[in-house]
Amino acid sequence: MNNKKTYIIAELSANHNNDINLALKTIDAIAKTGADAVKVQTYTADSLALDVDNEYFGPKKTGLWKGIRPYDLYKKASLPYEWHKDLQSRAHELGLDFFSSPFDLEGVDFLEKLNVPIYKIASFEITDIGLIKYTASMGKPIIMSTGVADVEDIKLAIETCRSVGNNDITILKCTSQYPAKIEDANLSTILDMKERFGVDVGLSDHTMGSLVPIAAVSLGATVVEKHFILDRSLGGADSSFSMEPQEFKDMVDSIRNVERALGSVSYEVSEESKLKRRSLFVTKDIKKGEALTKENIRSLRPGHGAHPKIMTTIIGTKAKKDFLKGDPYLEF
């Protein structure tokens, strides 16, 4: 990741709708937005749930996926392992990084064979210390979403990465609602996270629109991740909170403009700008030897005369030369 600019990730997630051609077309569209990377998710239904129908694994009773068993949802939403190589190749052809969120150790092993450059730990896996430790041990930069993590969870996840010598850690402020409410973004937490945990901080965003990620960048977010879809009307598990191509491009352009506006810490003032400031001018003709007073010297724009700070020290002294009304007052 390039720390000189925000690393912008387009999340494919389940928006392939079990069609590899749609997935490839989606990557083509991502490349045109100016994103830095496309991220996928590497799992099978068995990585996340059991194929049983009880109170824990039965149909969801609320939310976006109400009435659907987790196992069935994950089976439909998962990206087939055999697609990964083709999607990676297309991403690389288009200048995009390609990486993934693994959900089990077998997924990490599979992604290692693809030599992905980064790993992402999803929000709901933040307490899977075994998965985090194994993933971090690969020695690649690791990004972790914190949507369902409290302070102790985040500390433990970071300590787990460091315990295997991996210090290249970015944590993402995340609100695990789908879609998320803007009033629940709590972006001020980004500032606290940077100070509290001593790692890079970014944003994984599920709100509609680009306001939240743009604001996050202004607060110092180094990574922004948003779900991407060719067209929300295609439907699918994540379609309702995913960005369409033009929306994503507009977000990328806005983030880049924010970066330009943020610039760097500077108190330098150009010579041109200095001339816009106030300075001392002669307001009445003054003869050499005549007393300088508040009536014949004033602070005015522009900045061709002496600094106004000397006003109190020169009042009552004698002019060292003749001055005409309108001359800048300069000491000799």
- 154-207, pLDDT tens digit by residue? 999 999 999 999 999 999 999 988 888 999 999 999 999 999 999 999 999 999
Q: At what angle do helices 84-93 and 105-114 cross, to 10 degrees?
A: 40
Query: Which amino acid, residue 137?
Result: S
- 278-317, pLDDT tens digit by residue? 999 999 999 999 999 999 999 999 999 999 999 999 999 9
Instruction: Round to whole Å and give the CA distance between 173 and 223.
Output: 10
Q: Please, what's the b/e burial string for 297-329 (b: 16 or more CB within 10 A of its CB; e: otherwise)?
A: bbbbeebbbbebeebeebeeeebeeebeeebeb
Domains defined for the chain, CATH in brackets: 7-43+78-262 (3.20.20.70), 268-332 (3.90.1210.10)
Measured on CA atoms in the order 87, 92, 93, 95, is the torsion positive or negative? Answer: positive
195 phi and psi, to 5 degrees? -75, -40
The per-residue pLDDT for 170 is 98
List of residues 6+ apart from 245 with CB closer than 8 A: 29, 30, 32, 33, 228, 230
